[in-house]
DNA sequence: TGTACATCAGTGAACGCGCGTTCACTGATGTAC
DNA sequence: TGTACATCAGTGAACGCGCGTTCACTGATGTAC
């Protein structure tokens, strides 16, 4: 298998510098908006010379972009991992919600940056949203959801997830508080989509207890 | 009744200048983030000298603040006006949603600035959210909502409203499309809160047709 | 009503600093022999 | 394995421009007599 020709080389030192810059950006962009963070602060936090910044990133916007991409890949990988063994679309939906709440709890800085950039867009081409779209379509096709959910169910689910993240972050909820808030939100969102009350509560309870390694370990 | 002593004077010319600056800010802040809008652009759009900016606002952050306040007061007044004659908390909730969607349609620029600032915070002290809180509490107390709605119902409703606004703006929905999207969202959100399906659909239909002067005139 | 004066907003040139970007140089890493 | 050389990332001083803020001056508005 031929290796990508244009990519120059990995190089340990280079990787370390780049990673230090990304880490610093993640930390500082969580504290204040991107435009309020001068490159001087980034390189200082990374313990690196100013010139190095431009060895790795063409300009500041591309750096911000690299950070957004980093976060997106992170959360996409978490969702994919959590759902890789699940085919039931309802469980995939709730599993994604668990991942998002866990992300807000365990990766506070990344979650703040993500929310700031409204990375959670309503765009259907966003990979995460495309996954949700598929699962919701499957539920609608299977008669699990109301017809109102066909078009607008994605929006409701996104709103629920975004508000949960915002709540966990702004109100600094503990894991226990977050789990309860998530349980209630999942019950309501599922009811809204058309799931009957008993099953909605059953599924929501499953999220809080069964995959406990998600919400309680680490 | 004694007049506020510290306030200097209204002065027609002064009012005109200040208003021109605010209008320009509203327009430009909708196009790009605040930090990307230099004061030169604001005064140019307002047709005013640069120095005048500082006659009216101490600095740029306070200007941004004045604009946010302007928008908040605007939407608060609209909600208050729409609900002043309504005591039924369910109708007040749906009436607020109608106002918000109408705002996104008829005041596009203001709505964009509002969403950018995440003015829609989850904070309970925000006046709009306090109003929602009261109405939701009343519904819970009246047995109209599930117990899950007691704590987290506000979040669900906020998420629904925010996603509706974002959707109207980003996808440039027409009034007709927005009305249908809102109808579906209201049905789902009410179902989620615990309203039975028949009443949820009845209320949602009422939003789209009855107060037509809201969604169709102007 | 008219004139003189005080006050206050408007004006735009000038200032200066913060910050993104560049560049000549240095030192480290990897390769050829 | 050791030495010479090429390549490439790291360094931080220097640059320069964009932009927020100031200021001395002008012209308009409002008031006293």
The 10s digit of each residue's pLDDT in B76-98 is 999 999 999 999 999 999 999 99
CB pairs under 8 A between A and B: 111
Inter-chain residue contact A170 with B33, CB threshold 8 Å: no
Tokens of B71: 């928008």
Per-residue flag: B51 CB under 7 A of strand C: yes
> Can you give the distance from the CA of residue A40 to the C1' of nucleotide D11 in angstroms?
14
Q: Which residues of B touch A156 (CB under 8 A)?
A: 159-160, 163, 185, 188-189, 192
What is the model's pLDDT at position B216?
46
The DSSP letter of residue B3 is P
B160/A159 touch (CB, cutoff 8 Å), yes or no: yes
Query: Averaged over A13-25, what is the pLDDT?
Result: 97
Contacts of A149 in chain B (CB under 8 A): 184, 188
Question: Does position A3 have pLDDT exceeding 50, yes or no?
Answer: no
| Residue A191, burial from CB neighbour count under 10 angstroms (0-12, 13-18, 19+) | buried
pLDDT of residue A210: 57
Residue A29 has pLDDT above 50, yes or no: yes
If you average pLDDT over residues A129-152, what whole number do you get? 97
Give the residue ranges of DSSP H helices in chain A. Answer: 12-31, 39-46, 50-56, 60-83, 89-106, 108-116, 127-141, 148-170, 175-193, 197-209, 212-215
CA B110 to C1' C11 (Å) is 30
Q: Provide the token pair at A143.
A: 């008669």
**Chain A residue numbers touching B155 (CB-CB < 8 A):** 160, 163-164, 167, 181, 185
Instruction: Write down the mean pLDDT value for chain B.
Output: 91
pLDDT at site B119: 54
Nucleotides of C under 7 A from a protein CB: 8-14, 18-24, 28-30
Do B188 and A156 count as a contact with CB atoms less than 8 A apart?
yes
Average pLDDT, rounded, for chain A: 91
């Amino acid at each position: 298998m031929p290796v990508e020709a244009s990519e120059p080389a990995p190089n340990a030192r280079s990787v370390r510098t780049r990673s230090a810059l990304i880490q610093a950006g993640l930390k500082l962009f969580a504290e204040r908006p991107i435009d309020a963070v001068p490159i001087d602060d980034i390189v200082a936090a990374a313990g690196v010379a100013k010139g190095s910044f431009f060895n790795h990133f063409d300009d500041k916007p591309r750096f911000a972009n690299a950070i957004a991409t980093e976060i997106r890949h992170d959360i996409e990988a978490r969702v994919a991992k959590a759902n890789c063994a699940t085919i039931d679309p309802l469980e995939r939906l709730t599993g994604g919600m668990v991942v998002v709440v866990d992300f807000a709890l365990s990766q506070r800085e990344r979650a703040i940056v993500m929310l700031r950039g409204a990375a959670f867009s309503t765009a259907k081409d966003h990979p995460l949203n495309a996954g949700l779209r598929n699962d919701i379509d499957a539920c609608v096709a299977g008669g699990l959801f109301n017809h109102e959910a066909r078009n607008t169910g994605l929006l409701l689910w996104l709103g629920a997830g975004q508000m949960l993240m915002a709540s966990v972050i702004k109100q600094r909820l503990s894991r226990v508080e977050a789990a309860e808030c998530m349980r209630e939100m999942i019950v309501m969102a599922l009811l809204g989509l058309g799931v009957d009350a008993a099953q909605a509560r059953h599924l929501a309870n499953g999220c809080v207890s069964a995959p406990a390694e998600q919400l309680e370990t680490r």
